[in-house]
């Protein structure tokens, strides 16, 4: 199958491209390298350097493809609060431009990278696809707007679409040469990169130890990058009829931040220095998903655990930085 991956030089995109090519698909990549690395792109992929806001480039990217994985986006929550117009332009306008081209170019399958951030501070545990959406940041709102547009418009556009709402993605993967695909660590505020970079001089900050959880620290659901990619690839076989599905992707297993630091101690074979800080606005105490829908529709089952995630993330960091 001929497939376009937008954002194919980034963390999830490059791992997806690697997998698709290993399965014999022809792959095009469009990426402006704002959040990825050119050396991450498999040499068998056709690479178009530029932004999804470039209409001419986007038309070239979509030409002759049967399916689109749309991963290109602005993804930093803090940056989105400071630059809301940029986030709306890239995440909403860029996606709508891409969707408008699908019908004229005969694209039938559209897979969209959404986010657990659309649920905001959920009261459900675990979160399901039916849980209330109430994003608390610009990033989450831009993704929800596309989810809602696809729900309304996929049938009339003649596309079979899925919005995958990713929970916490971690770990790393190797390419066909057994090299670790590079991850952009600068500015990353997620828990696992923060643990990897922690030291006695710069301890990990844990935001709040008075949450209503087993040890007072927030609970999160971590899924390995390779498991996530398997779900994305598996969706190609599922997408047949015009319409739209929303599918949460996570392990359905929650770990508190302190449990993650204990797992890191085992995986990295060193002490993890941390200190508690006040709660952050917009943080939720527990963000864990049910993955029943992914299992049922895609026959998907995550295979890797927290230790695997931490070990692979550490190997990538040691190898590339």
Q: How confident is the model at residue 246 (pLDDT cuts 50, 70, 90)?
A: very high
Local confidence band at 159 (pLDDT 50, 70, 90 cut-offs): very high
What structural domains and CATH numbers belong to the chain?
A: 2-172+222-250+288-301 (3.40.50.720)
Where do we find the tokens 């076989």? 237
In terms of C-beta density within 10 A (0-12 exposed, 13-18 middle, 19 or more buried), how is residue 82 classed? Answer: exposed
Give residue 125's pLDDT. 85
In 3D space, the residue among 48, 47, 44 whose CA is nearest the CA of residue 24 turns out to be 44
CB 8 within 8 A of CB 163: no
User: Alpha-carbon distance 284 to 111, whole Å?
Assistant: 27
- Residue 139 a catalytic site member: yes
3-state DSSP assignment of residue 64: coil
Residue 132 has a pLDDT of 96
The least confident of 172-181, 214-223, 276-285 is: 276-285
Q: What is the pTM of this model?
A: 0.95
pLDDT at 166: 96
Give the pLDDT band (50/70/90) at residue 186.
low
Cis status, amide bond into 157, omega within 30 of 0: no
> Under a CB-based contact definition with an 8 Å cutoff, are residues 317 and 177 in contact?
no
Q: Which residues pair with 2 in a beta bridge?
A: 26
Q: Average model confidence (pLDDT) for the chain?
A: 94
pLDDT band of 250, cuts 50, 70, 90: very high
Full DSSP string of 191-231: HHHHHHH--SSSPEEEE-S-SSSSSSS-EE-EEEHHHHHHH
Section 245-269 average pLDDT: 95
* Percentage of residues in the chain having pLDDT higher than 70: 98
State residue 189's pLDDT score: 64
DSSP per-residue codes, 67-136 = EEEE------HHHHHH-HHHHHIIIIIHHHHHHHHHHHHT--EEEEEEEGGGG-S---SSB-TTSPP---
pLDDT of 268-312, one tens digit each? 999 999 999 998 776 778 889 999 999 999 999 999 999 999 999
pLDDT at 187 over 60: no
At residue 258, the 3 state secondary structure works out as helix
User: 77: which 2 tokens?
Assistant: 């929550």
Query: What pLDDT, in 10s, does the model give residues 19-75?
Result: 999 999 999 999 999 999 999 999 999 999 999 999 999 999 999 999 999 999 998
In the chain, % of residues over pLDDT 90: 88
Task: Note the pLDDT tens digit of each residue in 233-245.
Answer: 999 999 999 999 9
* Tokens 């527990």, located at residue: 286
Point out the catalytic residue in the list 11, 139, 149, 274.
139
Specify the DSSP element, H or E, that contains 5.
Answer: strand 2-6
Residue 77: pLDDT over 90: no
| Mean pLDDT of the region 4-17 | 97
**Crossing angle of the two packed helices 94-105 and 55-62, in degrees rounded to 10:** 40
Taking Cα atoms as reference points, which of 222, 247, 236 lies closest to residue 311?
Answer: 222
Residue 46 and residue 29 in contact, taking contact as beta carbons nearer than 8 Å? yes
């Amino acid at each position: 199958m001929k497939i376009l991956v937008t954002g194919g030089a980034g963390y999830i995109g490059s791992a997806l491209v690697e997998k698709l090519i290993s399965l014999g698909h022809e792959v095009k990549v469009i990426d402006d390298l704002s959040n990825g690395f050119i050396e991450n792109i498999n040499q068998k992929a056709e690479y178009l350097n530029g932004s999804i806001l470039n209409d001419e480039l986007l038309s070239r990217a979509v030409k002759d493809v049967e399916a689109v994985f749309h991963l290109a986006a602005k993804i930093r929550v803090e940056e989105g609060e400071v630059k809301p117009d940029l986030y709306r332009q890239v995440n909403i306008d860029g996606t709508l431009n891409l969707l408008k081209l699908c019908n004229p170019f005969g694209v039938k399958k559209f897979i969209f990278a959404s986010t657990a951030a659309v649920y905001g501070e959920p009261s459900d545990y675990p979160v399901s696809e039916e849980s209330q959406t109430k994003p608390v940041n610009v990033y989450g709102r831009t993704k929800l707007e596309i989810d809602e547009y696809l729900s309304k418009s996929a049938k009339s556009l003649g596309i079979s679409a899925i919005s995958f709402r990713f929970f916490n993605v971690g770990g790393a993967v190797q390419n066909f040469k057994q090299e670790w695909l590079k991850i952009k660590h600068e500015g990353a505020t997620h828990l696992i990169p923060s643990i990897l970079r922690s030291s006695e001089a710069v301890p990990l900050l844990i935001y709040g130890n008075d949450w209503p959880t087993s040890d007072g620290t927030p609970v999160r659901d971590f899924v390995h990058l390779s498991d996530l990619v398997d779900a994305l690839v598996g969706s190609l076989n599922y997408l047949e009829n015009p319409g739209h599905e929303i599918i949460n992707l996570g392990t359905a297993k929650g770990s508190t931040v302190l449990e993650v630091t204990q797992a890191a101690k085992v995986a990295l074979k060193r002490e993890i220095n941390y200190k508690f800080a006040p709660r952050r606005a917009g943080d939720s105490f527990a963000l864990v998903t049910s993955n029943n829908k992914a299992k049922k529709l895609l026959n998907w089952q995550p295979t890797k655990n927290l230790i695997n995630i931490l070990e692979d993330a550490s190997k990538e960091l040691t190898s590339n930085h």
